[in-house]
Amino acid sequence: MLFPTIEFWLFFAIVFVGFWALAHRPTAWKALLLVASYVFYAWWDVRFVLLLAAATIINFAGSRAIVRSRARAAALALGATVAADLALLGWFKYYGFVSINANGAFASLGLASPLPLVQVTLPVGISFFTFMGISYVVDVYRRVITPARALDFAVYLSFFPHLVAGPIVRGAELLPQLARRLRDREVDFPRAATLIVGGLFKKVVLSTFLATSIVDPVFALPGAHSGADTLLGVYAYAVQIWADFSGYTDIAIGIALLLGFRFPDNFDAPYAATSLRDFWRRWHMTLSRWLRDYLYIPLGGSRSGELLTARNLLITMVLGGLWHGAAWTFIAWGAVHGIGQVVERAVRARATVPSSLLTRGAGRLVTFHVVCLGWILFRSDSLASAGELVVGLARWNTPANLVTPTVVAAVALALLYQLAPRSISGSVTTLFARLGPVPQGALIGAGLAGITYLGPSGVPPFIYYRF
Amino acid sequence: MEARCANSSPRTIAIAGAIAALVWITLAASQIERSVSGAELGPWRDVRLAIIRPLANAHGEIAATPAPTASAPPTVARPMVVAGVQAAPKPAATPAARVPTPSDPLRVLVIGDSLAGDLGRSLGRISAAAALVSVELDYMPASGLSRPDYFDWDAALASDIARLHPEVVVVMLGGNDAQSFEANGHVVQQATAEWSAIYAKRVADLMMIGAANDRRVIWIGLPVMADPSFGELMRRQNDLYRGASNGNPRVTYLDTWALFAGPDGRYAPYLPDASGRPAPMRQADGIHLSIAGADRLAGAVKTELERAVPLLSGP
């Protein structure tokens, strides 16, 4: 069930009415959310529901074992729970990749691989709810949070707005909201409405337009296009993936808001970043925080000298890349960001030039292009294709067929929007908030009609659904 | 800056939501109707159409129910990939009648659904090295011949031919076609004799468009599928493609079933690649092709092209 479909909004209308009708009965509205979330998940493949239930049971049981145990036993319980989480993720997401590469490696030594080749279906959203489960048990172990009741935890892990593509919400952020009385809650409708309509525009209109106009053609046959087409195709992909993923997140946050829940922000004008470190504070922020708190800092973070910090950064970014998919392209993408940040730290430590408009501008330009280099790896279907595309960037002796004023304008406006003051979108929400429900509804309806006319009737799934 | 809403009770939100839905349906009725009519046949589609059609008709933009074979303009996202940097298109020529050169390569058009997308990308890649074949790809995910009201391949191919002047048309579709459709004023159930007769006629029509003016058509059969029951439906469709190709001397049917089957004749997720090592042939859905799988298929298509145009394989 995709957000930009009639099916989803009918489903949501039923959930919304039922949820608020049960506002005075906490167990009932939580049970409703749980059932709704499992129905939402089963829409893809009913077998996946068992996996979600298994992840819920593993992490809930693990958290109970942690609080009931003494120090060493609690650590063992934590280790066992995290290992079980990673085993599930490893089997469904990485087994095929590991087995085929192991097979190749053993074959080159003239040996038979011990790993049989098995094709495993990747359940949607597994990367997201696995990371949420791990953060929960680690936070319980660290005593950042107290263990939740079974129903609360089940809703926390499966809550449909974040289930398939985030944001990766922490237990400390969502569980207290589940424990609060529903009737005391404020629903920020203007923010929810602007997020949802804006998110739908980003996904249905902007992302799809750029994908079909230039990105898909350029990346499908990377050796066949002019340098101008290829360069604009890469810039367009940078905009497409931002519009696609941040559009999804906006809709998810807006939907949660309509049910009275606040999710953390996931994007903050990432292409306005002046450094790679800055980029990761603005792009997929909930994943960055997760990697920082549950991987980079436990590895030692930046506390142990330049060399170990570089190692920790590389490990974190490469594993962050691998989180997105079991492929060498994602590993290389993570490595580009890891190496980039190591270089950046070294330059920063030795830099003597004070920050100015010029240095910030140059920082933005360099950062954006390193990020784009990463996107070439991220979007390409193989390292060879990525190489072909990079070579294609130098092919300026052939005519450009895909560069059109509309594509250039869409890319330029989307990038300029990232530099616009945040108060602009805030002002739109404020103006909207002053209206009554009838004009509010009319405006939303008009906005949706505009999106329907501008967008195609068949909208491809969100890019991050496959992670 | 976050705005606080004065009217934020669920009841108020419900009112605003209902009005939004009403305004949306009223303003975008014709577009919604077009989108819904392309959905899978069934009660859910009928309910939605029953609601939206009167409004769409009131718009005056859609006068009546589209005939099953009517060519509704495609409004779906449609990746169009054009490879091979060509000067002005040349008039079509019989492939065997001329010698393709790097400056005047054989113009090959690949059309179809997402499987054609997998194939076209690989064929473009492997052909780029030889420089004697220029591959152009027009694929539309989720399309086929069952639902011309969703996407009309006859019209799309005619338009592609007029624009790109291909000498060989490679067609791969059918993975989305195992569904009922409307024809002759009623719903034709999938897997019936009537369905097969109408579908075979559509296949033959598309072949005829592709093969007109001495062009060659290579029709790619569907490969074995992971789900045996789905695979059985695809195998029956393959029989229709093979049968239709027998009736047109300029059409070659390329059987790919065995190409993706293991020694036991069943679906094989892994098969040896060019280096002889096992490689994943299919995506996890058991339908689409992996890169190695697409390369394997593209290799078979390239061999077929070389058979059709012997000079492609070199002196």
For A432-453, the pLDDT digits (tens) are 888 888 999 999 999 999 999 8
The amino acid occupying position B50 is: A
Q: Which residues neighbour B281 within 8 Å (Cβ) at sequence distance 6 or greater?
A: B260, B268, B269, B270, B271, B289, B290, B292, B293, B296
Give the ipTM of the model, two decimals please: 0.81
Between residues B21 and B60, the one the model is more confident about: B21
Q: Which residue of B has its CA nearest to A19?
A: B10
The answer on B48 and B115 residing in a single domain is: no
Range of A16's domain? 6-184
Q: Min CA distance, B283 vs chain A (Å)?
A: 9
Residues A377 and A438 occupy one common structural domain: yes
Most confident of A410-414, A416-420, B51-55: A410-414
Chain A contact set for B32 (CB, 8 A):
6, 452
Distance from the Cα of B203 to chain A's closest Cα (Å) equals: 24
Contact residues, chain B, for A212 at CB < 8 Å: 77-80
B34: nearest Cα among A360, A161, A417, A453: A453
Predicted local distance difference test score (pLDDT) of residue A40: 95
Higher pLDDT among residues B218 and A71, named by residue: B218
A156 and A250 inside one domain? no
Q: Say which of B2, B20, B141 has its CB closest to residue A188.
A: B2
* B127 plus B179 within the same structural domain: yes
Q: Which of A165, A235, A247, A164 is nearest to A208 (CA)?
A: A247
Distance CA(B153)–CA(A219), nearest Å, equals 24
Look at B26 and A121 and tell me if their CB atoms are within 8 Å.
Answer: no
Predicted confidence at residue B81, as pLDDT, reads: 53
Q: Is residue B74 part of a domain?
A: no
Residue B95 domain flag: yes
Interface residue of A15, A20, A117, A119 to substitute, partner B, most B CBs within 10 Å: A119
Backbone conformation region of residue B288, classed left if phi is above 0, alpha if psi is from -120 to 50, else beta: beta
Following DSSP, what letter does each residue of chain B receive, concatenated?
-----SS-SHHHHHHHHHHHHHHHHHHTHHHHHHHHHTSPSSHHHHHHHHHHHHHHHHHTS--SPPPTT--PPP-S---EEE-S--SSPPPP--GGGS--BTTB-EEEEEEESHHHHHHHHHHHHHHHHH-SEEEEEEE-TT--SS-TTT--HHHHHHHHHHHH--SEEEEE--TT--S-EEETTEEE-TTSHHHHHHHHHHHHHHHHHHHGGG-EEEEEPPPP-SSHHHHHHHHHHHHHHHHHHHT-TTEEEE--TGGGB-TTSSB-SEEE-TTSSEEE-B-TTSSSB-HHHHHHHHHHHHHHHHHHSGGGG--
Same domain as A103, residue A167: yes
What pLDDT does A319 receive?
96
Least confident of B58-67, B212-221, B246-255, B274-283: B58-67
Same domain, B308 and B187: yes
- Report residue B95's pLDDT band, with 50, 70 and 90 as the boundaries: low
Task: Name which of B125, B224, B267 to mutate to probe chain A: the one with the most chain A Cβ atoms within 10 A of its Cβ.
Answer: B125
Q: Which range (A3-12, A247-256, B195-204) has the least confidence?
A: A3-12
> Has residue A460 been placed in a domain?
no
pLDDT band at B76 (very low <50, low <70, confident <90, very high): very low
Q: Are residues A315 and A419 in the same domain?
A: yes
- What the block records as the tokens of B176 is 């989305």
Which of B24, B34, B86, B277 to mutate against chain A (most A CBs within 10 Å)?
A: B24
DSSP string, B194-245: HHHHHHHHHHHHHHHHHHGGG-EEEEEPPPP-SSHHHHHHHHHHHHHHHHHH
Q: Residue A292: how many CB atoms within 10 A of its CB?
A: 15
User: Looking at CA atoms only, how far is residue B193 from chain A in angstroms?
Assistant: 30
* Domain annotation covers residue B75: no
Cα–Cα distance for residue pair A97/A316, rounded to 1 Å: 20
Task: Establish if A49 belongs to a structural domain.
Answer: yes
Mean pLDDT of chain A: 91
Name which of A184-198, A274-288, A331-345, B129-143 the model is least confident about. Answer: B129-143
Q: What is the mean pLDDT of residues B10-39?
A: 86
Q: Determine the pLDDT at residue B29.
A: 82
Q: Span B282-288, mean pLDDT? A: 88
Residue of A nearest to B123 (CA): A221
| B311 pLDDT above the threshold of 80 | no
CB contact under 8 A, A441 and B269: no
The catalytic site residues of A sit at 324
Q: Are residues A241 and A209 in the same domain?
A: yes
Taking contacts as CB-CB distances below 8 angstroms, the residues of chain A near B45 are none
Provide mean pLDDT across the span B272-291.
Answer: 87
Nearest to A423 among B1, B6, B141 (CB): B1
Residue B315, pLDDT score: 44
Total domains present in chain A: 2
Q: What is the pLDDT of residues A139-168, one digit of tens each?
A: 999 999 999 999 999 999 999 999 988 899
Q: Does residue B68 lie in a domain region?
A: no
Q: Indicate whether A221 and A337 sit together in one domain.
A: yes
Same-domain pairing of B288 and B210: yes
Using the predicted structure, report yes or no on whether residue A241 has a pLDDT greater than 90.
Answer: yes
- Contact check, Cβ <8 Å, A212/B77: yes
Confirm whether A465 is domain-assigned: no
Contacts of A308 (CB under 8 A, 6+ apart): A300
Average pLDDT of chain B? 82
**Residue in A204, A391, A452 to test binding to B, most B beta-carbons within 10 Å:** A452
* C-alpha distance from B276 to closest chain A C-alpha (Å): 10
Q: A301-325: per-residue pLDDT in tens?
A: 988 888 999 999 999 999 999 999 8
Chain centroid to Cα B100, Å, comes to 28
* A17 contacts B77? CB cut-off 8 A: no
Same domain, yes or no, for A219 and A344? Answer: yes
Same domain, yes or no: A219 and A132: no
Sequence-separated (6 or more) residues with CB below 8 Å from residue A434: none
- Min Cα distance A401 → chain B (Å) is 9
- pLDDT at residue B9, as a whole number: 86
Instruction: Indicate whether B15 and B143 sit together in one domain.
Output: no
If one counts every other C-beta atom within 10 angstroms of the C-beta of residue B22, the result is 13
Does the beta-carbon distance from A191 to B3 stay under 8 Å?
A: yes
Taking a C-beta distance cutoff of 8 angstroms, is the pair B242, B256 a contact? no
CB contacts of A398 in chain B (<8 Å) are 85
- Same-domain status, B132 and B28: no
Tokens describing residue A352: 């003597």
For range A1-26, the mean pLDDT: 90
Whether B141 and A458 lie within 8 Å, measured CB to CB: yes
B66 within domain boundaries: no
**Poorest-confidence range of A271-275, A352-356, B207-211, B246-250?**
A352-356
Q: Is residue B104 part of a domain?
A: yes
Please judge whether A445 and B81 are an interchain contact, meaning their C-beta atoms are less than 8 angstroms apart. Answer: no
Tell me which of B19, B46, B133, B147 to substitute to probe the interface with A (most A C-beta atoms closer than 10 Å): B19
Q: Which residues of A touch B272 (CB under 8 A)?
A: none
Residue of A nearest to B142 (CA): A458
* pLDDT of res. A466: 59
Whether residues B26 and B110 fall in one domain: no
**Partner-chain contact B48 A433, CB within 8 Å:** no
Quick check: is B3 in a domain? no
- Which uninterrupted H or E stretch holds A311? helix A305-324
Asked whether A174 and A158 are in contact (CB, 8 A), the reply is no
Question: What pLDDT digit, counting tens, does each position of A91-130 carry?
Answer: 999 998 888 888 888 888 888 878 888 888 888 899 999 9
Same domain, B42 and B84: no
- Per CB-CB distance under 8 Å, the chain B contacts of A381 are 121, 291
- Residues B141-157 pLDDT 10s: 888 999 888 889 999 99
Under an 8 A CB cutoff, do A453 and B31 touch?
yes
pLDDT at B42 over 70: yes
Last residue of a domain, one of A184, A219, A254: A184
State how far the Cα of B118 lies from the Cα of B296, in Å rounded to an integer. 11
Quote the pLDDT of residue A13: 95
Which among A341, A209, A206, A219 has a CA at the least distance from the CA of A280? Answer: A341
User: Bigger pLDDT: B44 or B221?
Assistant: B221
Q: How far is B280 from chain A (nearest CA, A)?
A: 8
Give a three-class secondary structure readout of B83-119: CCCCCCCCCCCCHHHCCCECCECEEEEEEECHHHHHH
- Residue B128 reports pLDDT greater than 80: no
Q: Is pLDDT of B131 > 60?
A: yes
List the single residue in A191, A221, A433 with the smallest CB-CB distance to B121. A221
List the structure tokens of A97: 């990749």
Residue A464 lies in a domain: no
Domain end call among A158, A184, A210? A184
Which pLDDT score, from 0 to 100, does residue B32 have? Answer: 83
Beta carbons of B80 and A212 less than 8 Å apart: yes
Question: Is B147 domain-assigned?
Answer: yes
Of B5, B14, B282, the CB nearest to A190: B5
Residue A463 binned pLDDT confidence (cut-offs 50, 70, 90): low
pLDDT at A196: 96
CB < 8 Å to B78, chain A: 212, 456
Distance from CA of A153 to the nearest CA of B (A): 25
**DSSP three-state, residue A360:** helix
Q: Compute how many other C-beta atoms are within 10 angstroms of the C-beta atom of residue B102.
A: 9
Please compute the mean of the pLDDT values over residues A353-359 and round it to a whole number.
83
**Chain A environment of B282 (Cβ under 8 Å):** 119
Task: Report the pLDDT value the prediction gives residue A423, as an integer from 0 to 100.
Answer: 75
**Closest CB to B284 among A23, A120, A433:** A120
Question: Residue B69 has what pLDDT?
Answer: 38
B46, B87: one domain: no
Q: Which two three-digit tokens encode residue A99?
A: 């087995």
Task: State the pLDDT at residue A462.
Answer: 60
Domain count, chain B: 2
For A246-267, the pLDDT digits (tens) are 999 999 999 999 999 999 999 9
Domain end position, chosen among A151, A184, A217: A184
Q: Please tell me whether residues A105 and A203 are part of one structural domain.
A: no
Q: Output the pTM of the full model.
A: 0.84
Q: A206 and A122 in one domain?
A: no
A266 found inside a domain: yes
Structural domain boundaries, residue B254? 80-313
Write the pLDDT tens digit of every residue in B97-116: 577 888 888 899 999 999 99
Q: Say if residue B185 is in the same domain as residue B249.
A: yes
B76 contacts in chain A (CB < 8 Å): 456-458
Residues B215 and B86 in one domain: yes
Which pLDDT belongs to residue B52? Answer: 80
Residue A183 is classified by DSSP as G
CATH for B236: 3.40.50.1110
User: CA nearest B268 in A: which residue?
Assistant: A119
Chain A residues close to B3, C-beta within 8 Å:
188, 190-191, 426, 429-430, 432-433
Q: Are residues A374 and A297 in the same domain?
A: yes
**A362, A224: one domain:** yes
Min Cα–Cα distance to chain A from B11, Å:
9
Q: Are residues B146 and B188 in the same domain?
A: yes
